[in-house]
Structures are given as C-alpha cells and as structure tokens.
Structure 1
Amino acid sequence: MGYVNYEAWQEFSDHDITYVTREKRKCRYETLETREIPEEDRDSVISDETVKLSWRRRWKRPMTGEELSHRRGRRPKSGVVLVSESRSGRHKCRRITKWKDKRDEGTITFLTNDLDTPASVLCEVYRRRWQIETLFKRLKQNFPLKHFLGDNRNAIQIQIWTSMIAWLLMQVIKRQTRRKWSLSNLMTAVHILLNSYTGLYDFLDHPEGQWLKIIEARQKSASAYQELALFPPQSPPFSRIKRRPLIYRELHMKKRWIELLSDSNIINQ
C-alpha cells in the first residue's frame, strides 16, 4: 500500500483487512509493547513493537436548511455557508524495523495491523508485493473471478482456491514444456484439448504434428458415425438449417492454431 491514511487503516482493521506499508518520515507514535525477536531473525530484524498512531481529520461541509433556520445573525442572501468539522482517533498497529539487503544502505521500517505473523514473513511479503499484485492480475484475467457462482463466503473461498490450484497446475505444465508458451495461450490450448485423446506434453512440444493427428482422428470418427447411420436424417421442418461440414470446422480450427502458433509470445524464435 503506497499511501498514508491512518483513518483508512483503522477501517481496514475494523473489516479484518490486513495491510503492510512503509512508515513515513517523522511519524509520531506511542509505544505500547516491545516484542521479543526470534533468534533466527535477529540478524535482519532490529526491533518489533506494538504502537498507537494518533490521527485527526478536518473538513468543511455546507450547512443544512434546518441549521440555517436556527443560526443566529444575519442570514446570507446568496451562496453556501460552510461549517468546519473534525474527527480524531487512534490506530493500533505493529512497527517493524529491519536492515536493508546491504547494511551500508541503512534501515527500513514497516507498519502493519497483522499482530500474529512473524516479522521476517511480513518483511518478505512487502518485498514481493509487486509479484503478488501480478499474480492476482493474471488470476482475474484468466479465471472467472469477476463473477462468483455462489453468494456465501464458503462458495467464494472454494472458487478462489480452485482458481489458485488451476494456476499452480498451469505453472507446472508451463515449466515442463520445451516450448515457451505464454500463460493465456497455454490455457487456451488446454481448454481446447480437454475433449481430445492426446498427450498434453506431446501436443505442447510439437503442436503442428499433433494437431494433424487430432483432425485425422476426428474425421475417422465422423465417417464411422456416418457408416453406422446412428443419426437419422432430419425431419422437413429442420431441413432448411444448414450446418457446416465437419471437415470445414476442422480446417477452421487448424487455421486458428496456425495463427496462434505464429504469435511471438508462444514460440521463442
């Protein structure tokens, strides 16, 4: 999180939202407790404290009609009468100070409302914050997380965990293939091959030859269905509906794969 707003941080804590951010310069705080640092973290973590931050916010708002009717003095002929208001409070959080990667560069201080997680883990979370942002961005782009299948908390958590498991499986497949596929194209390939009896890694390593085999197998199965006459001819009311031949659809899918394979994001030229 890249902005300083103590009131917003308190709202995060009220709604059980965890944050980790850097401390701004000349931050005033009151120390409530000094935590003990584990022995394995003493080389990097300098201090771990529980503190309280005081905040005060001022703003102006227009006076309502009822307030104007009870207002003493001359009533303004035109314009809006502004009233000054303020709000103050205190926010309880955790203050962690650690050395930077090189001790010559000095120290860095974090503020967080997570009072249970070890200090070294929270520092690592902040260091990898952009990787976490990229992960959630790709999850929202490639998985249906914009629309949830259920309304309760359990259904939403199941859908998120399922997407995370699928994401990890895609990463394993991506690392074990010889070609360099982009994640979106890799997921498109897996989605198309779900109903095909073909080796996934064989297809991803040699998609051109494997795709021709898939087309031939589907053409053979289509001709076998036609020879067995499993599907009777359509009745007259539906005879005007024209469907594209199976071979035409297979050629169209082959053309789509050729365009997909020519993408610079898939093949490392």
Structure 2
Amino acid sequence: MSNITLFSQIIKKIDRSIFNKLVREKQADKGCKGFNSWTHLVSMLFCHFAKSTSVRDISNGLRSATGNLNHLGVRKAPSKSSVSYQNKRRDADLFKDLYYSLLKSLGQQAALRRVKLKVKVPVYLLDATVISLCLSVFDWATFRTKKGAVKMHTLLDYDGKLPVFVNITEGSVADNKGAYGIPLEKGAVIVADRYYNDFPMINVWDSSGVYFVIRHKKNLSYTSIKERDLPEHTAQHVLKDEEIELSNAQSKAKYPKTLRRVVVWDERNGQTIEVITNNFKWAAQTIGELYKARWEIEVFFRDIKQLLHIKTFVGTSKNAVMIQIWTALITILLLKVMKATAKYGWHLSNLVAFIRLNIFVKIELQKWLDKPFEVHKEPLLDVIQGDLFSN
C-alpha cells in the first residue's frame, strides 16, 4: 500500500523543475501572496479529475484532503475567492506552455503502435470544435447574435491521439482561418474535412513539403487531366482515381498545381467521400483510409467534452476560460499516459470514473492501474511477538 493518495501520485508525473522554469520565465508568481502557480495548477487539475462545478467545489474538495495536501506540494487549501482571482489574473500561457512541455516529455508514453494506416510518415488530423457559452455572461466570446462560444482549432497526432497544436479563438473565427498557424512538418500528412478547402493555405502546405488529404466541396470546379487505373481485385470501394486541375480562374491562381482526386464509397455511412491530395504515389485505398482516420479527432473532442470539465466554466473572463481548457488538455495527457502504461485494458471513460471515485484513496498508482479490482493488502510485518504466557 502507498502512503500517499492516487491524486498525489498522478500530480507527481508532472516534472516540477519544468514547471518552475516556466514560472520563473513568465514571472507568474510575481506579487503572489500564498496562492502560487503550483497551487493554482493543482486546484485546476483537481477541478477536472473530480469534475468540480464551481470554485467552491474546488476549495472544499481540497480542504477535505487535510493531511494529504503536503504530498501535493500545497501548503493550504485555497479559498474560492483566491481561485477565482487567480483564474482572472494569472496568464493562461503558463498552462499552455506547460502542456506543450509535458507533451515533449510524456507524449511518447501515450503513443500507441499504428495498426491500420500503411504510411510510415507522421499523420496529423485537423479540425475544430465549438464550446458553447452564454453570450450575456461571456460577452467577449462572439459567435452568433444570441449565442457565445469559443472554438478549439486542433491538430491531433494520429499515433498519440493528442494535440500537437491548439488555437483557441472566439467561436466566430472560421475553421480555416484558425488553422493558419499550425506547425508544418516536411513529409507529414494533414487530414482535414471540407472546411479546410482553402487553396492559398494548402498551397503553402505543398510548398513546405507537407502532404494533405482533404474532402473537397461539392461545387469544386475542376478539369480531369488523367484517369488512373483502379485496382481489379482489391479495394472495390474505390470508385475513381484521377488527376485534375482547378478550372476556376481565381482558385487556379491560388493553387496552380495538379491535384489528385480520389472517390471512395463509405459503406458504414452509405455515402461517397471525395477527397483531393497532393500525393500521387500512395494507393487510392491508402488515401481513403487516411481520410477515414479523421474520425479519431471527433473521438478526442467527444472525450474532452464528456469526461472533463469544459462544458461549463468556473470563471467568466477570457483568461479563466483559457486556463480551464489548457488544464483540461494537461489532464487528458496524464490520463492517456496512465492508460497506455497500464496492463489492464482501460476505456478512458472508465479510468476517469474510477479515479474520481478513488481520488484520495491511498494505494500504489501503477499496481492499481494494472489490477484495479484486486485487493491490495499491506505486507505483514516480519516481527516475532512474544508469548505473554510462555514459560
């Protein structure tokens, strides 16, 4: 048995030296009185792991852990006013930079072996999701006339199922506009939906040596240059494979090169999928599989919305919302590391629920992850007790 709680052991996966370096660089504790950056981080991670619905829940939840706070590196449970004040004041970029730093140090542990895709290059999935907000309360989050929202523009690594880039904007920002700052890795492939039919943007990708597979819009104007042979006995779901040029003058000026157009039948959803790509070497079946892999980013969005606490927010300022989203990303990174290193076949939803139920239980984390339903007893002390009635 461990003498520290599950939550304390999860928190210990975060390298304090990395965090302290970021705090010094950003001077995040300047003028701080008691409620330092580390306590702030622990409070917001507790918010997600315990699914606290308010700053009162965060404060009371940590206060209930009296005697265990020192294992968390926290001197005193924060008051609700302290959490609220620092959510508004402390720069959210501290938690953003921490996520990317942890992704470098822990991300490899979360990566899974690729089982379906036949390409050996890195595969990234690009999409955006809307997080709805009440416009009367979050008046800075413009989206529609009577509705507010923020949008997470996300580039997801297919192998690790974790974001390598996130751009959080107001909900009114178009998907393609929010993707202009994504990192470009030569030789990698970006898979995206039809909202990313932005010819100036994909022209930049192509010039940078990046492959793309994008579902094109129904009204795409093009001229077919060459029909490519279809496989005779395999991949019967591939309906068309051709090389095309854009016929619209404005579009062609933005992307003057030849494109490849592949049409595949999606039996699961009973529809045809039409994609364009700048890769002319891969089999048409591989192109289709790459696009189908895009579903993984939808799974990621579902998980982060349903399992963590980002549908409602404990603060109303833009900075508070950003902190809650970035700490949610840190939480899901820690969860995926635990899931990947456990011998037991956890579903992420079950892992989240079990941690929530046992958050302050004192048990060895790795043993619990490997064998969650086994009774873990403390070893008997090897002590010979004297017999009171012996001669």
Scaled by the length of structure 1, the TM-score of the pair is: 0.44
| Larger gyration radius, structure 1 or structure 2 | 1
Greater percentage in helix: 1
Q: Which has the higher contact order (CA 8 A, sep 6+)?
A: 2
